[in-house]
Structure 1
Amino acid sequence: MSQRLSVVMIAKNAADLLPDCLASVAWADEIVLLDSGSEDNTSEIARAAGVKVYTNTDWQGYGVQRQRAQSYATGDYVLMIDTDERITPELQQAIQGVLAAPQSGAVYSIARRNYFLGRFMRHSGWYPDRVMRLYERERYQYNDNLVHESLACDNAPVVALNGDLLHLTCRDFASFQRKQLNYATAWAQERHQRGKKATLTGIFTHTIGAFLKTLLLRGGVLDGKQGWLLAVVNAQYTFNKYTELWALSRGYSEKA
């Protein structure tokens, strides 16, 4: 007997992205969306598409919000996606194959194809960018990290699925930059709370290292102009992370 699938997502002000995302997973047994306090018609669009919509504005990080969203799911398996992601037909077929003949205890990794300034990247560390998103609902859930949360599934067998998850990472550069800055701030706050510190030397060595890793070690040069630009963006993101941590540890930031 085929297992039931719950597609689970968290969202905030995603009205422009949501219709295409929902269309790509319309074949699922149920779709659950936890709204984090949208000021647009995200919830209305979701409800009109038959999605089970819930709201929780007490933001405690991506990991906690994903845990809350999963708590509303009823399927045997969870497929966790974001509103700026789309399931390709090949990936849909692979997921349905898992539901028809699942491997007990396994988690399933999906190759994510990331979009950056007009191009789906094929190198630069952005492809295949495998993420573990399909898993048994009652067995696994996400950790409670503020940012860069991951599935808590230590020692679980990992099975790679065919097909890609399309990720519209950077359609608008200004919005992407704001999101990167928010991620960097959350990363620094989390490390600061754990007693971590950064040095001035460390800021620059990590920044230069991020640029060279993206461009050379991860083949960014093969992605053309976008590869060079992404190397700079990754370096900038790294600079922001470690500089904020440096500022927090010295009391130079109001967020301390």
Structure 2
Amino acid sequence: MTARLSVVMIAKNAADVLPDCLASVSWADEIVLLDSGSDDNTVALAEAAGVRVFTSADWQGYGIQRQRAQQYATGDYVLMIDTDERVTPELAHAIRQALANPQPDTVYSIARRNLFLGRFMRHSGWYPDRVTRLYARERYRYNDNRVHESLEASGARVVALQGDLEHLTCRDFAGFQRKQLAYAAAWAQERHEKGKKVSAAAIFGHTLGAFCKTLLLRGGVLDGKQGWLLAVVNAQYTFNKYTELWALNHGYTEKRPL
């Protein structure tokens, strides 16, 4: 018997990208959206599309918020996506095939096609950028990480699905930079609270390593101008997160609630 699917997402001020996202998964048995306190019309758009909408403005990080959102799902399987992602027709077909023959001890990875400054990257570590997003609801959940959260699926068989998940990662550079800076601060604070240290010399080593890894080891040079720019952006992000950790280690910046 075909398993029921719940598409689950978390959102905040996503009115500009939500309609296309919802349209790409309109075939699911249900769509659940947990709003984090939007002040645009995200909630109204979702409700008008028949989405089951809930609210939790007590932000404790991405991992916890995904766990909360999953609690509202009723399907046998969860497809966890973001509001700036779109399920392609080929991926939708692959998901329906997997649901027709459910294997609860199996989780499914999906290739993300990431947009950066007008180009869907094919290299640079941004493709296929596989993420595990389809899984049995009662068996698996996300970890508690504030950023870079992932599915806890130790021991599960991982099957790669055909088709891509289009991710509008950087459609607005200033907004992308603000998000990257917030991720860096959250990453640094999480590690500082765990007692992690970093030296000034290590900051520069990590930064240079991130640039070379993106451009050379991950083939960013094959992505043209965007590949070079992304190498710089990745180096910048690495510099920001390790410098923030160094500043926290030395009491040069304030710890803040996340």
Alignment TM class, shorter chain as reference: over 0.9
Paired AA for residue 251 in structure 1: G
Deviation at 1:204, TM superposition (A): 0.1
Aligned to 1:86: 86
Distance 2:3 2:244 in 1: 45
Task: Name the Cα RMSD after superposition.
Answer: 0.6
Q: What do the CA deviations read for 1:208-237 (whole angstroms, capped 9, x no partner)? A: 000000000000000000000000000000
* 1:199-238 to 2 correspondences below 5 Å: 199-238=199-238
Runs of 4+ in 1 over 3 A off after TM superposition: none
Where does structure 1 lack aligned partners over 5 or more consecutive residues?
Answer: none
- The number of residue pairs the alignment matches comes to 256
SS in structure 2 of the partner of residue 108 of structure 1: strand
Q: What do the CA deviations read for 1:157-187 (whole angstroms, capped 9, x no partner)? A: 0000000000000000000000000000000
Distance 2:102 2:76 in 1: 10
Where does structure 2 lack aligned partners over 5 or more consecutive residues?
Answer: none
Aligned to 2:112: 112
Distance 1:205 1:46 in 2: 45
Paired AA for residue 84 in structure 1: D
Q: What do the CA deviations read for 1:58-114 (whole angstroms, capped 9, x no partner)? A: 000000000000000000000000000000000000000001012231000000000
Task: Indicate conservation of the 8 Å contact 2:206/2:238, yes or no.
Answer: yes
SS in structure 1 of the partner of residue 6 of structure 2: strand
- 2:75 matches 1:71: no
Deviation at 1:155, TM superposition (A): 1.5
Distance 1:233 1:102 in 2: 40
Distance 1:232 1:174 in 2: 15
Q: TM-score, normalised by structure 2?
A: 0.99
Distance 1:116 1:222 in 2: 14
Q: How many percent identity over aligned positions? A: 79
* 1:184-203 to 2 correspondences below 5 Å: 184-203=184-203
Aligned to 2:56: 56
Distance 1:44 1:68 in 2: 20
Paired AA for residue 74 in structure 2: T
Distance 1:18 1:216 in 2: 35
Q: TM-score, normalised by structure 1?
A: 0.99
